[in-house]
Amino acid sequence: MWRAVLALLAVLCAHAIVPADAFLVKTALLRDLGRRARPARSSAGGCPFSGNALPRDKLVPESLRDIVQGVAFPGDSGVAPDVPPAWLDRQKFERGQAFSRKNFFSLAYAESLSLLINFLFPGELQPLIFTRRSSTVYDSYKRYFDTVARVKSWYESDPWTPNTTAYNNIATVRGYHLDASRRMRQASPDALRLNTTFGPHSDPPHIWSGATVERMCEDAREGACPSDAVDAVLKDRDVTKRVHLNQFDMSLTQFAFSGLIATFPERFGLHGNLERELDAFCHVWAALGYALGIQDKYNFNLGGLALTRRRTRDVLEHFAKPRLRTVNRDWEHMTRVLFEGLSLYNPGVSYEASVLYMMDLLGVAAPRLTASLTPTQRLVHSSIGVFMEGAMRVPSIRTWANQEVANNLRKAGRNADSQRYKESIEKRSYRYQFLPTPSRYQCA
Which candidate, 324, 356, 316, 311, places its Cα nearest to that of 40?
316
Whether the Cβ atoms of residue 285 and residue 258 lie closer than 8 Å to each other: yes
218-252: pLDDT as tens digits: 899 888 888 888 888 899 999 999 999 999 999 99
Whether the Cβ atoms of residue 75 and residue 245 lie closer than 8 Å to each other: yes
In a domain, 355, yes or no: yes
Least confident of 24-33, 196-205, 268-277, 400-409: 24-33
Which candidate, 421, 416, 280, 334, places its Cα nearest to that of 122?
334
204 cis-preceded (ω within 30 degrees of 0): yes
In a domain, 161, yes or no: yes
In a domain, 134, yes or no: yes
pLDDT on residue 310: 98
In a domain, 278, yes or no: yes
What is the pLDDT of the chain when averaged over all its residues? 85
Q: Alpha-carbon distance 409 to 432, whole Å?
A: 27
pLDDT band at 165 (very low <50, low <70, confident <90, very high): very high
Which residues form the domain of 417? Answer: 73-424
pLDDT band at 204 (very low <50, low <70, confident <90, very high): low
Which candidate, 397, 230, 396, places its Cα nearest to that of 326?
230
In a domain, 6, yes or no: no
The predicted model scores a pTM of: 0.88
What residues are paired with 442 via a beta bridge?
Answer: 328
In a domain, 282, yes or no: yes
Which residues have C-beta within 8 Å of that of residue 46, sequence separation ≥ 6?
Answer: none
Whether the Cβ atoms of residue 47 and residue 228 lie closer than 8 Å to each other: no
- Please tell me the total count of domains within the chain: 1
7-45: pLDDT as tens digits: 444 434 433 334 333 443 344 344 444 443 444 444 444
In a domain, 12, yes or no: no
pLDDT on residue 11: 39
Which candidate, 340, 15, 300, places its Cα nearest to that of 204?
340
Which residues have C-beta within 8 Å of that of residue 349, sequence separation ≥ 6?
Answer: 1, 2, 112, 339, 342, 343
- Give the count of beta carbons closer than 10 Å to the beta carbon of residue 149: 15
Q: Alpha-carbon distance 241 to 412, whole Å?
A: 39
322-350: pLDDT as tens digits: 999 888 889 999 999 999 988 888 777 88
277-291: pLDDT as tens digits: 999 999 999 999 999
Whether the Cβ atoms of residue 209 and residue 333 lie closer than 8 Å to each other: yes
Which string of b and e fits 46-72 if b means at least 16 CB within 10 Å?
ebbbbeeeeeeeebbbebbeebbbbbe
> φ and ψ at 432, to 5 degrees?
-75, 150
pLDDT on residue 87: 98
Q: How far is CA 47 from the centre of its chain?
A: 24
Q: Which helix (H) or strand (E) holds 29?
A: helix 20-37
Q: Alpha-carbon distance 135 to 203, whole Å?
A: 8
pLDDT on residue 20: 38
- Give the count of beta carbons closer than 10 Å to the beta carbon of residue 441: 16
Q: Is the pLDDT of residue 433 over 60?
A: no
DSSP-derived secondary structure letter, 39: P
